[in-house]
Amino acid sequence: MLLLRRCSGLTPFGPLTPLRPRAAVAAEWRTLRLLSGGSNSEDQRWRNAGYSLSWRRALAGLLAGTGAVMAYGLNRHKADAASVAVTPQNSQLRVFSQEEVTKHRTLQDGVWVTFNGSVYDITEFVAMHPGGDKILLAAGGALEPFWALYAVHNQDHVLEILSEYKVGELRAEDRKKQQSATSSDPYSADPERHPALRVNSLKPFNAEPPTEILSDSYVTPSAIFFKRNHLPVPKVDPASYELQVDGLPGGGLKLSLEDLKSRFPKHTVTATLQCAGNRRSEMNAVKQVKGLNWGIAAISNGVWAGARLRDVLLAAGYGPHTAQWARHVQFEGLDKDVTGTTYGASIPVNKAMSEEGDVLLAYEMNGEPLPADHGFPLRVVVPGTVGARNVKWLSKITVSAEESDSHWQQNDYKGFSPTTDWDTVDFKSAPAIQELPVQSAITVPAPGASVLRGDQEVTVKGYAWSGGGRQVVRVDVSLDGGKTWQVARLKSGDSGETPKPSPPPGRAWAWKLWELTLPLPPDTRQLEIVCKAVDDSYNMQPDTVAPIWNLRGVLSNAWHRVKVTIRDAE
């Protein structure tokens, strides 16, 4: 069967490109995928897709036996991207009705989409899409709602890639209908954010506190607490809000916010949340990974209050019989993508039901109602467990024999060997991350900072934390890249505050801030400050990133290193 490069058989080169069997095209694309460098950050993967197209053009030129074609393909990438996407490249482009476009929704029938009034046949691009086959969700319709949701697409080079696939224009009346349907921005209801946050992505909103103030307060103020959203923040009316509890004998339970506050004892837990991708930028420095380029501050410490999950499940009918088959507790959020798919995750039932697990259905953060970005009106807080399982805007809890089938439980937030790449990865082969490994990082001084020789000493500050309730018992600090070490002073509260009593064994949910002042070594101008933490199971951090590198850049917990210069004068 022949694969038509364009529905009309015409290409941006004109009719020069020969029609080739699907297998040959697929082989070429596989080669180009390899040439394009494999896995990467979302943005980088899009750039790679662009480079692949340049290569493809070059290859097409060679196949067509004309240098002119090759030059055209390469030069086209220099064109003004904004105009490229909307400028017809071929006077013979046809006008299609929406009905015709809608017929092309599969690889067999061809995958067509519309954008800004133009029609694109992206069948060939599906295999190259950095976001995988999610692109098929847009098949037969407009790209705008998806690009509004996944704003990484709103870049010139993505438009440029798209322009390669243009086959025609959308009929004027269909375009008008589309415009009225797609004009709303799904992120328009997102809350205001503090300008101090370091933004990693605006839509969805992902940001971390400025590193230099992260260790200034034991409890991170909500406004600068790191924020990790996969989707738009849902607007929830607390008066009509209902939590559904399913999977238990007796047909389930529905609870209003008021029920949660009045029917169950209020429990308060100080717990650190850390994103699996914290410190991903250090993995990126070794070899590029796919994901947001988090620094060292995708971690924060909060005081959470609410009903215990255990109490709610018992009230919903959890009993000895349930314990025989139940293995997981699944959570669903109210935040949805354009297909209506909600965020979801699950935790082992033992953690949920343990009296010492301290899992909360939290309606308060730092003494106030949960802020919109942190899950208003209700989120689950699973102390000691990776951020991804702490589902916000909680709508449904299901006790089950199975894990959540959510994308974020099954196909993300898992660790792999450094040798695993995007062509070989099998997400089913690895367990979902739950408890996180021991972690520490230096917040002060900042990388590249300088200290005055005349000060004679340097103060180093940072945070340390371990998952699963394991308490950090020691932080070692080195000024010479790890040759010699000193032990830092651990703090369990803000300075000036009476030190908090040690938490019961296995329930150390909150981080420890630490500090150490050391004399400046006399005979060097460069310090390589390093920190490493030890938890009460004597787990320690690995010394370098390369052996723990993984394609998603999760679980990045190597010794943290900061280079600082010693200056002689102001």
Residue ranges that bind ligand MTE, judged by CB under 6 A: 225-231, 273, 275, 333, 335, 343, 373-374, 387-388, 390-393
Residue 312 to residues 270, 308, 324, Cα–Cα distance (Å): 20, 7, 19
Rounded to 10°, the helix 42-64/156-163 angle is 30
Min. distance of Cβ 294 from ligand MTE in angstroms?
10
For residue 118, which amino acid is it? S
Question: DSSP 3-state assignment of 444?
Answer: strand
Among candidate residues 47, 228, 507, 552, the one labeled active-site is: 228
- CA dist 70 and 320 (Å) reads 71
Min. distance of Cβ 362 from ligand MTE in angstroms?
10
- Is the Cβ of residue 135 or residue 386 nearer to ligand MTE in the bound state? 386
Min. distance of Cβ 421 from ligand MTE in angstroms?
23
241 is catalytic: no
Min. distance of Cβ 122 from ligand MTE in angstroms?
27
Min. distance of Cβ 544 from ligand MTE in angstroms?
25
- CA dist 446 and 561 (Å) reads 10
Query: Can you name the residues that pair with 243 across neighbouring β-strands?
Result: 255
Min. distance of Cβ 260 from ligand MTE in angstroms?
17
Among candidate residues 280, 413, 470, 552, the one labeled active-site is: 413
- Is the Cβ of residue 373 or residue 476 nearer to ligand MTE in the bound state? 373
- Alpha-carbon dihedral sign for residues 355, 357, 362, 365: positive
Among candidate residues 275, 308, 328, 343, the one labeled active-site is: 275
- Residue 33 tokens read as 């995928």
- CA dist 150 and 131 (Å) reads 10
- Is the Cβ of residue 229 or residue 466 nearer to ligand MTE in the bound state? 229
30 is catalytic: no
- Is the Cβ of residue 141 or residue 467 nearer to ligand MTE in the bound state? 467
> The tokens 């709610």 sit on which residue?
312
* DSSP type of residue 520: P
- CA dist 15 and 31 (Å) reads 24
Asked if 295 and 286 touch (Cβ cutoff 8 Å), the reply is: no
Min. distance of Cβ 409 from ligand MTE in angstroms?
11
153 is catalytic: yes
Element (H, E) at 206: strand 206-208
> The tokens 């996944």 sit on which residue?
150
Asked if 393 and 376 touch (Cβ cutoff 8 Å), the reply is: yes
- CA dist 372 and 225 (Å) reads 12
Asked if 282 and 549 touch (Cβ cutoff 8 Å), the reply is: no
- Is the Cβ of residue 57 or residue 280 nearer to ligand MTE in the bound state? 280
Classify strands 512-519 and 439-444 as parallel, antiparallel or unpaired: unpaired
374 is catalytic: no
- CA dist 391 and 334 (Å) reads 10
- Is the Cβ of residue 393 or residue 416 nearer to ligand MTE in the bound state? 393
- Is the Cβ of residue 104 or residue 374 nearer to ligand MTE in the bound state? 374
228 is catalytic: yes
| Closest among 343, 404, 408 to 375, alpha carbons compared | 343
Write out the catalytic residue numbers: 129, 153, 228, 275, 413
